[in-house]
Amino acid sequence: MLFNSLEYLVFLPLVFALFWMFKSQLNIQNLILLIASYVFYGWWDYRFLALIAFSTIADYVISHVIERQKPQHIKKCLLIISICINLGLLGFFKYYNFFIESWVDIMAQVGFRSNVGSLNIILPVGISFYTFQTLSYTIDVYRGDLRASRSFVNFATYVSFFPQLVAGPIERATNLLPQFSQIKKFNNDEAIAGLNLIIWGLFQKIVIADSCAIYVDSIFENYEKVNSFSLLLGAIYFAFQIYGDFAGYSNIAIGTARLFGFNLMRNFNYPYFSRDIAEFWRRWHISLSTWFRDYLYIPLGGSRSSMITTVRNVFIVFLVSGFWHGANWTFLVWGGIHAILFLPVLLLGFNRKNLDQVSISKLIPSFKELFQMTFTFIVVSIAWVFFRADNVTIAFKYLKRLVLDFSWGIEFLNIDRYNFELLLLVLIVVLIEWINRTHEHPFMGTWKWFKIFIVILMLLTLGVYSDHQDFIYFQF
């Protein structure tokens, strides 16, 4: 079920009403959420439910056994089993064909013909997200940071919690799991804050991301025919498409969770106002970057070892992060580019230089800050071209043409709706975000209801409904 679908428009109020009908009856409320989450997930393909149920049962059982065991080597052995199960599922469903096809290609390059065939596998929606969530739970139990969940229903609901099941935020068990044991009291302010986030998230997705998507798809399909200016716009629009798409999803997820009295972690914090690449990664897909920091980068030694180890660790984290996004070389190159961009900042000790919000308490940034933000946005956008392109060669050709074509005329692309007015819309959104960059969403302060009214009006009139787009991160 998609957040931007009519089904969800019926589903959410129904679950909301049922949930609050059983106020103070925690077990029933959790059960309602569990059933609702399975309905939500099964809406795509009921066969996926077996997979999530298996993953849930496996981690529930293993975490309990880990907790009961005293010898460290047995605990470690059980943790490895859990990791193998989770990554095994992920590896099979997401990466099997990639490895087989890459192997066949490599063999063909050296003159061997390999007969290993790829399989017709459907990638279960959100598998990368809930796999990482269950992994972090078992690791936390192993480390002793968390007690194994006593309630299977609570744990199963934590794994499948529908607001964040298919595209995050990737919640840590330490944050979310205890919330299933707390009695919920309906809080009007929280519910309104949740609704505000949902509205803003829908705006980011349906107005910004989906409008940009129409243009981006056309540019990337015809990249060999269009000029530098259109290619530049294509890259900029994709930067806003992916941001609107994913930040929009996260805001809807966080807002939905709030309607039920749950607090999910913030996933985006105005990333395009970052002054360097390290700051960008503290503001973009926060739940994934902190996951990699805590469960991969630090266990590998982080930046406290030698310079070579640090460089290695940075590359491992970014390449794995790239690969996590999808089974394609484009994502690996995207991860590699970010590692290359991140390294100088880290090695020169500037990675924690920009921790606060930019130009705090000032309306206009300084020239230096503006330059830093623009530069970061440009390098991030270049990397996005690899993320979006069908393959690495196309990405290079796209960038080569952008730089070398050197024709900057205004082209009219044969798109019925959006062209340069889209740039205006994007600029307006940047301005809105800039003004509200210290807030969670723009519906704060004075004129709050008027702002909500305008955004709803824009949602209705500027939203893209005829070319319905899935959320990009569903494929991951």
Partner 1 sequence: MYVLDNFYTYVYYNGDARNKLQYVTKLGDKKIDYIFIGSSRVENHIDCDLIQQITGKSCLNLGKQGAKLGDGLLMILLLNNYDVKYSKIFYQLDYTSNYYGLEKSTRAQAYPLVKKSGNKELKGILNLSRLYNIPFYGYAKQDKVIGIRELTATLINRKSNVKLANGFVPRYGNSQRTFGELPDFISQPNEELIEMKKNTENKLVLFTAPYCSKDTNRKDFMKSLNKHYPESLNLMDAFDEKTHFFADCGHLNAEGAAAFTKLLIKKLNL
Q: Which residues are identified as catalytic?
A: 325
Closest contact distance (angstroms) between CB of 411 and partner 1 is: 17
**173-186 burial by CB neighbour count: b if 16+ within 10 A, else e?**
beebbebbeeebee
- 308 contacts partner 1 (rule: CB under 8 A): no
Beta strand ranges found along 107-235 (DSSP E) = none
Closest contact distance (angstroms) between CB of 467 and partner 1 is: 7
Closest contact distance (angstroms) between CB of 427 and partner 1 is: 18
What is the rounded CA–CA span in Å between residue 189 and residue 442?
Answer: 16
Phi-psi region for residue 261, left (φ > 0), alpha (ψ -120 to 50) or beta? left
Alpha helices in 91-176 (DSSP H): 96-109, 127-143, 152-160, 173-176
Closest contact distance (angstroms) between CB of 414 and partner 1 is: 12
Question: What is the size of the binding site for partner 1 (CB under 8 A)?
Answer: 13
Site for partner 1, residues 410 to 449, rule: CB under 8 A: 416-418
Contact region for partner 1 (CB under 8 A) — 18-26, 34-42, 433-441, 455-463?
A: 455-463
Tokens of 104: 């066949």
Binding residue for partner 1 (CB under 8 A) from 105, 145, 390, 467?
467
User: Contact letters (x/-) for partner 1, 358-397, by CB under 8 A?
Assistant: ----------------------------------------
What is the rounded CA–CA span in Å between residue 350 and residue 272?
Answer: 18
- 10 contacts partner 1 (rule: CB under 8 A): no
Contact region for partner 1 (CB under 8 A) — 60-68, 78-86, 120-128, 453-461?
A: 453-461
- 50 contacts partner 1 (rule: CB under 8 A): no
What is the rounded CA–CA span in Å between residue 401 and residue 408?
Answer: 12
Instruction: List the one residue out of 332, 323, 248, 236 whose CA is nearest residue 288.
Output: 323
- Contact yes or no for 330/395 (Cβ under 8 A): yes
Amino acid letter at 216?
V
Q: If residue 36 lies in a helix (H) or strand (E), which one and from where to where?
A: helix 26-42
Angle at 140 between CA 40 and CA 253, to 5 degrees: 30
Q: Is the peptide bond before 365 cis (omega within 30 degrees of 0)?
A: no
Q: Which of 6/17 has CB closer to partner 1?
A: 6
Tokens of 52: 């999530």
Binding residue for partner 1 (CB under 8 A) from 8, 462, 474, 475?
462
Binding residue for partner 1 (CB under 8 A) from 112, 367, 420, 465?
465
Binding residue for partner 1 (CB under 8 A) from 302, 336, 365, 463?
463
Closest contact distance (angstroms) between CB of 416 and partner 1 is: 6
Q: What residues have CB less than 8 Å from 442, skipping those under 6 apart?
A: 200, 432, 433, 435, 436, 451, 455
- 452 contacts partner 1 (rule: CB under 8 A): no
- 6 contacts partner 1 (rule: CB under 8 A): yes
- 466 contacts partner 1 (rule: CB under 8 A): yes
Binding residue for partner 1 (CB under 8 A) from 464, 469, 472, 476?
464
Contact region for partner 1 (CB under 8 A) — 36-44, 112-120, 179-187, 457-465?
A: 457-465
- Contact yes or no for 251/198 (Cβ under 8 A): yes
Alpha helices in 326-389 (DSSP H): 329-347, 367-388
Contact region for partner 1 (CB under 8 A) — 128-136, 144-152, 167-175, 464-472?
A: 464-472
Q: Which of 307/415 has CB closer to partner 1?
A: 415
Q: Which of 211/381 has CB closer to partner 1?
A: 211
Residues interacting with partner 1, by CB under 8 A?
6, 416-418, 457, 460-467
